[in-house]
Amino acid sequence: MSLTPWWRGAVTYQIYPRSFLDSDGDGVGDLPGIYSRLDYIAGLGVDAIWISPFFKSPMADFGYDIADYRAVDPLFGSLEDFDRIVERAHGLGLKLMIDQVLSHTSAEHAWFKESRESRDNPKADWYVWADAKADGSPPNNWLSIFGGVAWTWEPRRGQYYLHNFLSSQPDLNFHNPEVRAAALDNLRFWLARGVDGLRLDAINFCFHDRLLRDNPPKPEALRTGRGFSADNPYAFQYHWYNNTQPGNLEFLQELRALLDEFPDVAALGEISSEDSLATTAEYTAAGRLHMGYSFELLTADFSAGHIRRTVTELEAQLSEGWPCWAISNHDVVRVASRWGGANPPPTLAPMLSALVSSLRGSVCVYQGEELGLTEAELPFEALQDPYGIAFWPSFKGRDGCRTPMPWDPSPDAGFTSGKPWLPVSEDHRALAVSVQEAQADSCLQHFRRFLAWRRGQPALRWGAVQMLDTPEPVLAFLREHEGQSLLCAFNLGAEAVDLSLALAGEAQVLEGHGLAGGAFSGGRLRLPGHGVLFARLS
């Protein structure tokens, strides 16, 4: 095993299995489809893959509502299909991470079916149950991220149960040590099958306030949540009591002790709290998670100032922790549209991939990001996401970033021989893998060239970071590792820039990264629109 763990500085490729590749013609992507494209993924130059949930589920939230943590849903294939992926990925030099959703289950899970039957069965205390108030209303004012009250009445028990997400996603009671033990045992099942890491969904939602105290109201000017619609009442509260509780820290230590039984594995926690940067620092302290993943760069704010502030604030709070950055995933508008508008220029996506891969930390790249895919526009009748259906038309949900991966320019983009579960975007067919493979200057080819170049730059993979004070739209910082100092500069705008940048020593501009490069001499930094510069300082 190398002195540097594989996950430090790693680039991980996120696969949303429903939309990656369908092997059997039912219109839904599956594990055999993933297996058939592992060579493509390895050829991108990434270090690992992360597969979103493929477990047995009624699919109310498309796999994030798990009915059996140890079974592959037949929609996606079999356990043998998964084992083949593990073996093939490892043979290609890829590490494999899987999603784990610990805070809640599906209402179809056997645990919940038993728990809901009575107040005195063996699983009675495995979920968060509470009596109604005297007037029959829910026990407190907690709200669901997906809209409305976070409590649903269960007539069998004559009580309410908590669900921070859909009503069909009841929250487990992690105050119960039996629940924690069962959750860890499920993780052990997958670690024993050879997975190299766990991406822990909504990990700060495992514990709730035992006293069920009301969340306080949030002033209207501060109702700007990450990952949910601006008109969602969830934004009207400070979420001090329904998540991010002190008990979670002890559980993370229990989880880390389990991980430490297996060689060279890692845990990446998704964190969305009232102060996600502070929580990330706390959750990645010694003996807890290896990495933290939050929504700070998944917002609409595309400014050098925002990125600089985010990195600076997190670095100031981290101790042993290691950040993980992402600018797209399966829950937010694709970055090419979010930061590039309705018609993003082709120079934008390659620059953004280079930028996020140059920050200190590890990186998660969402499928299609290497192609520069934009957000797909879908009519209401094509929507599948319950979140989008509930909040239409002010918020269109998450289907626009989940449409099928385009492999070729055919009508169904080489994704399926049947009817795709979401329509293929016409715009995406022109950006298909086979199309970009034939273009020397495509987004795909830029992506590959940059990651190949990055592998030879230890400062970008493991170095410390120092953000520099530059005017908009330029983001610049230093990466330093073992006596080497590397200047990284990015023009977030479409117009060329020329500015003064005072740095000590001489600068050797580096080539070979395959992007629109800039110049630096005599204290002047020059960058073309969406250009980059890497220079070694001496």
CA–centroid distance for 479 within its chain: 24
Active site residue 495: no
Rounded distance, CA 492 to CA 352, Å? Answer: 8
Position of tokens 């953004």?
352
User: Residue 157, SS3?
Assistant: coil
Query: 28, exposed or middle or buried, with CB in 10 Å at 0-12, 13-18, 19+?
Result: buried
Rounded distance, CA 510 to CA 527, Å? Answer: 14
CA neighbor of 35 nearest in space, from 93, 75, 82, 78? 82
Active site residue 331: no
Question: Omega of the bond prior to 473 within 30 degrees of 0, cis?
Answer: yes
Q: Is the dihedral of CA 382, 387, 390, 393 positive or negative?
A: negative
Catalytic residue among 261, 441, 472, 506: 261
Rounded distance, CA 66 to CA 100, Å? Answer: 9
Q: Measure Cα distances from 373 to 72, 296, 370, 428, 439 in Å.
A: 29, 21, 8, 6, 16
Q: Is the dihedral of CA 247, 133, 229, 398 positive or negative?
A: positive
List the end-to-end C-alpha distance of the chain, in Å, as a whole number: 32
Catalytic residue among 61, 73, 201, 412: 201
CA neighbor of 128 nearest in space, from 152, 110, 109? 152
Query: Is the distance from CB of 96 to CB of 197 less than 8 angstroms?
Result: yes
Write the DSSP symbol of residue 417. Answer: S
Q: Measure Cα distances from 332 to 387, 391, 520 in Å.
A: 12, 15, 36
Query: Is the distance from CB of 29 to CB of 420 less than 8 angstroms?
Result: no
Give phi and psi for 189, each to the nearest 5: -55, -45
Catalytic residues: 201, 261
